[in-house]
């Protein structure tokens, strides 16, 4: 029996673990893939208070090591079921806890086009900082209009011969400063009010077909970086939490779910702003709330 089981080892989950372990609780963290969540892929973090510059990998690794040093147990096991009596079932084992924090974060949203899955790693990527070096001195395209797309395009513009930035609207939701930097890059071409409708190639990516109001055309590219947003992975919890129409966990106060003793933290919940600072804040609040209620205070 654990005091607390945390599902997800991203910044929110690992922060929850730190606070619970410091309160002398027995904590288990279950993670389907690897520690760190999406932040581990960030090339550089420059907006976290008190840390002017740090890589996402270093930040995530520091969190992970802090949890391990405090005695936290982290297991790479995919959760497949959670019951109201706080039994957590993975593909390998079954665990029980007094309280559970769900901090599963979000996944990258896909274009959902034929050949997309087959060509991942063969020309298609969802992380420019992870895979950008494979496309040094090559031609690439980035799809999206938010901060991630702009940052990916800027990063790639420093190593690739040509970068196409494709967006279905004529304006961007991302940071104005990053957008201005991109506009001053000679090797960046904006393709606006356009969508990718077909992925070309068999064994590897050869190009893409795009469509706007006037025409369809093919573009030869070596790499396609998809940055069109995120989606939660909360379907397995629908019996114990309420989900909104996009699949995020509903919580009136940002921490409690509809089931007593089951809490939510980080990008998995309904919230206005999804940033590193809000994730660790959520993790702190969720852990401290769980501890307080666990002890009947």
Q: In what order do the strands lie in the sheet with 124-125?
A: 124-125, 223-226, 139-143, 162-167, 188-192
- Nearest 5°: the CA angle 271, 272, 274 is 80
**In contact, 125 and 138? CB cutoff 8 Å:** no
Residue in 208, 291, 295 with CA at minimum distance from that of residue 255: 291
Those residues whose C-beta lies under 8 Å from the C-beta of residue 30, and which sit 6 or more positions away, are 5, 6, 7, 8, 9, 75, 77, 79, 88, 90, 95
Burial class (CB in 10 A: 0-12, 13-18, 19+), 136: exposed
Can you tell me the distance from the alpha carbon of 67 to that of 59, in angstroms, rounded to the nearest whole number? Answer: 13
Q: How many CA atoms lie within 13 A of 290 on its CB side?
A: 36
Q: How many CA atoms lie within 13 A of 19 on its CB side?
A: 20
Residue in 139, 151, 198, 144 with CA at minimum distance from that of residue 171: 144
The C-alpha torsion from 225 through 228 and 229 to 234, rounded to 10°, is -90
- Could you tell me how many residues make up the chain? 297
Q: Which residues are catalytic?
A: 127, 130-131
**In contact, 100 and 7? CB cutoff 8 Å:** yes
């Amino acid at each position: 029996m654990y005091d607390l089981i945390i599902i997800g080892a991203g910044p929110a989950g690992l922060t929850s673990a730190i606070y619970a372990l410091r309160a002398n609780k027995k904590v288990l963290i279950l993670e389907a893939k690897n520690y760190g969540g999406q932040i581990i892929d960030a090339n550089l973090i420059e907006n976290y208070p008190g840390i002017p510059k740090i890589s996402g990998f270093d930040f995530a690794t520091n969190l992970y090591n802090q949890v391990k040093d405090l005695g936290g147990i982290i297991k790479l096991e995919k959760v497949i079921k959670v019951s109201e009596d706080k039994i957590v079932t993975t593909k390998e084992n079954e665990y029980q806890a007094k309280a559970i924090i769900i901090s599963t974060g979000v996944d990258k949203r896909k274009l959902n086009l034929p050949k997309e899955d087959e060509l991942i790693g063969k020309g298609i990527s969802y992380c420019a900082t992870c895979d950008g070096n494979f496309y040094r001195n090559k031609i690439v395209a980035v799809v999206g209009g938010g901060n991630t797309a702009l940052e990916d395009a800027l990063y790639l513009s420093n190593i690739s011969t040509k970068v196409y930035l494709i967006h279905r609207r004529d304006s961007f939701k991302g940071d104005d400063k990053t957008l201005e930097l991109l506009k001053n890059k000679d090797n960046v071409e904006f393709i606006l009010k356009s969508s990718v409708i077909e992925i070309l190639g068999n064994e590897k990516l050869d190009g893409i077909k795009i469509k706007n109001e006037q025409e369809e055309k093919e573009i030869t590219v070596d790499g396609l970086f998809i940055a069109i947003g995120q989606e939660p992975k909360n379907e397995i919890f629908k019996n114990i939490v309420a989900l909104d129409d996009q699949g995020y966990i509903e919580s009136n106060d940002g921490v409690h779910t509809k089931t007593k003793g089951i809490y939510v933290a980080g990008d998995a919940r309904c919230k206005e702003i999804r940033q590193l600072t809000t994730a660790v804040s959520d993790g702190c609040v969720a852990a401290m709330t769980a501890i307080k209620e666990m002890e009947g205070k």
